[in-house]
Amino acid sequence: MSTSAAQQPSPQLFFQTINAHMRTEALKSAIELEVFTAIGEGNTTAAEIAKRCQTSEKGMRVLCDYLAIMEMLTKKDGHYALTLDSSVFLDKRSPAYLGGATEFLCSPMLTEGARHLTDAVRKGGTAMENDGTIGPDHPIWVKFARGMAPMMALPAQLIAQLVDPNSDRKLKILDIAAGHGLFGINFAMKNPQAEVTAVDWKAVLEVAKENAEKAGVAERHHTIEGSAFDVEFGTGYDLVLLTNFLHHFDAPTCESLLRKVHAALADGGRAVTLEFVPNEDRVTPPDAAGFSMMMLSGTPSGDAYTFAELERMFANAGFSRSTLHPLPPTIQQVVISEK
């Protein structure tokens, strides 16, 4: 683009952004109608896909064109095809199918917070009643545990590899707000001497137990029912896992939990935190930095914390040293904090 063209104001970004909600709706509809699965099965024209998904041909043509515009499909000579990403994550027959995550990510509880964003900005936290998603025993976390597991399988493997590369010693692990349980379970799968204790709401732990069973590590997978802020953790842990948990709370609340974590760790033990960690500018990298908006709209005082902020919380809770580790290809990072 020439300089003069670049300097001409355009309402295009305004228009795209104000209509961005349609991207969400189109993806939800495509998942619900099993469009990606239909294409994976070999249906490539709007007519064929419409027949398989029991829709009108016109509606399917418009939807598939929109998915192609969003680069979730390709289109050539009237034939649609899956991209690498959509074949891996959106075809129901794929083991990494993520379609179930929409049950969590698009649940009214999460989108409700977004619809009251102006009030959340005024207040500095969610405008939903009962503390939004972090209220006690919220049923959303069962949806989370079921829907997000496929999305977390890879990071869970990568973390076990990062933290316990040799798998050659006894590990007593506390998995806080375990959800689907995959983070602890992956350590247990990799290291036969690892024993995991998962903490979460009772209904959520049922999902973690199912997953431990499936992974063949049920005997080394134990549970503590309740809020991580209330229950007794016990002591002598080599690792405490804090995966996607701290972002729901403000710094003082995190620090009080981290003091409890510190007390539960054995000497030389480590806290392992998985988080969306923006750079100091808080606007890069975009996906990690933008996560703060989810926390503003959905929690009373959560945030996406920078490494400096996380480091300070751990230091205030008595940890001697924290280090930051990228976890490619995920957009999240791991903070390892030593007792």
Question: Measured from the CB of residue 265, what is the shortest distance to a second copy in angstroms?
Answer: 31
Scan residues 86-115 and list those touching a second copy (CB under 8 A). Answer: 87-90, 96, 98, 101-102, 105-106, 111, 114-115
Alpha carbon of 332 to those of 35, 91, 133, 231, 288: distances in Å?
29, 24, 21, 28, 7
The answer for residues whose C-beta is within 8 angstroms of residue 269's C-beta and 6 or more apart is 237, 238, 239, 240, 338, 339
Shortest distance in whole angstroms from residue 270 CB to a second copy: 27
Q: Which is nearer to a second copy, 78 or 192 (CB)?
A: 78
x/- string (CB under 8 A) for a second copy, residues 119-148?
-xxxxxx-----------------------
Strands 73-76 and 237-243, how do they pair?
Answer: unpaired
User: Which residues on adjacent β-strands are paired with residue 176?
Assistant: 199, 242
* Interactions with a second copy, residue window 145-164 (CB under 8 A): 151
Site for a second copy in 230-269 (CB under 8 A): none
CA distances from 139 to 107, 125, 133, 144 (A): 11, 21, 9, 9
> Which residues ranging from 33 to 72 are in contact with a second copy (CB under 8 A)?
33, 54-63, 65-66, 68-72
Q: How far apart are CA 280 and CA 319, in angstroms?
A: 22
Q: How far apart are CA 69 and CA 83, in angstroms?
A: 12
Q: Which is nearer to a second copy, 116 or 209 (CB)?
A: 116
Q: Which of 2, 3, 8, 166 binds a second copy (CB under 8 A)?
A: 8
Cα 149 from Cα 204, distance rounded (Å) = 12
- For a second copy (CB under 8 A), the number of binding residues is 84
Q: How far is Cα 274 from Cα 158, in angstroms, rounded to an integer?
A: 11
Distance between CA 201 and CA 209 in Å, rounded? 12
Q: Which is nearer to a second copy, 47 or 266 (CB)?
A: 47
Residues between 68 and 87 with contacts to a second copy, criterion CB under 8 A: 68-72, 75, 84-85, 87
Site string for a second copy, 266-305 (x = CB under 8 A): ---------------xxx--xx-xx-xxxxxx-----x--
Nearer to a second copy, 67 or 142 (CB): 67
